[in-house]
Amino acid sequence: MAGAKVAVFGGRRGMLGQALTRALERSKAVALPLSSQDFDPLDARALESFLDRQKPDMAFNAAAYTAVDQAEDEPQAAYRLNRDLPALLGRLCAERGVRLLHFSTDFVFDGRGHEPLRPGDPTGPLSVYGASKLAGEEALRGLPGVTVARTAWLYGPGRTNFVTKILELAKTRESLNVVHDQEGSPTYTPDLAALALALAASKVDGVLHLANSGRATWCELAAEAVHLAGLPCRVQPIPSSAWPSKAARPAFSVLDTSAFTEATGVTPRPWNQALRDYVFGDLGLGV
């Protein structure tokens, strides 16, 4: 990626976007991180003017409506960001020969399977958020120079996330109850950013899955983070029915990343190794 100019939508304040910006800078690419404060990317004229002025070689779209429960009450806002933005970006990038790497989610699946999910497996979103992200994928389907990277269960520097929330609570509580009947692919954003750069370099079109390897429930992820941080808090498993949320979430959404590995030769490391780097390195906790 050295020397390439890459626009990163969500790249200034988003959790994944910030990791992408850092990874690009480390690889000696020219990152153009963007925020909603710079201009409204759904304003076609503003977006066209940005693309024509900056002439990026690639665009990474990590801007999204990510408030999963709130989306149930704000479907228009969710579809605006998650369907209409990739649709516009896809069209304008294709017209200019700019490659686009767009991020999507494991929440496009219904969670009824038991085997790690491959990119071609049937979708069936359970929530407005999942349906709006799937609509974004569909808007990009078949466009030349477009890659859709589905990822899952993100944590990393730069933004409050599941791991930071659990560790904050664990500092003051003797025990925490955490859902143990949803299983997924916890993924560290700096790892994901490195995988995304490998994918971008491979110039593969279509949908791929990118995540740390292995699988965990929310309870297992929380327990490992609390253990690594050396906190005495007990993490107790509970069913989702004991933790009601507005949006339904898939019970099983572990992602199979083998198509990514076939395309790039890169194997994602296990989630628990990545979690160690986050807890010890970024958060400065543990022994």
Ligand X SMILES: NC(=O)c1ccc[n+]([C@@H]2O[C@H](COP(=O)([O-])OP(=O)(O)OC[C@H]3O[C@@H](n4cnc5c(N)ncnc54)[C@H](OP(=O)(O)O)[C@@H]3O)[C@@H](O)[C@H]2O)c1
Give the interface with ligand X as residue ranges (CB under 6 A). 10, 12-17, 35-37, 41, 62-64, 66, 81, 103, 105-106, 133, 151-154, 159
> For ligand X, which residue has the nearest CB?
14
CB of 86 to ligand X, least distance (A): 9
Q: Which is nearer to ligand X, 103 or 271 (CB)?
A: 103
CB of 232 to ligand X, least distance (A): 28
Residues carrying an active site annotation? 129
Q: How far apart are CA 162 and CA 153, in angstroms?
A: 8
CB of 21 to ligand X, least distance (A): 11
Token code pair at residue 110: 């219904």
CB of 189 to ligand X, least distance (A): 7
Q: Which is nearer to ligand X, 73 or 175 (CB)?
A: 73
Q: Which is nearer to ligand X, 18 or 27 (CB)?
A: 18
How would you label 18-29 residue by residue, b for 16+ Cβ within 10 Å and e otherwise? bbbbbbbeebeb
Q: How far apart are CA 2 and CA 287, in angstroms?
A: 37
CA-to-CA separations, 221 to 154, 180, 264, in angstroms, rounded: 11, 10, 28
CB of 230 to ligand X, least distance (A): 25
CB of 252 to ligand X, least distance (A): 15
Q: Which is nearer to ligand X, 99 or 102 (CB)?
A: 102
Residue 238's nearest CA partner among 195, 177, 156 is: 177
CA R_g for the chain: 18
Q: Which is nearer to ligand X, 106 or 220 (CB)?
A: 106
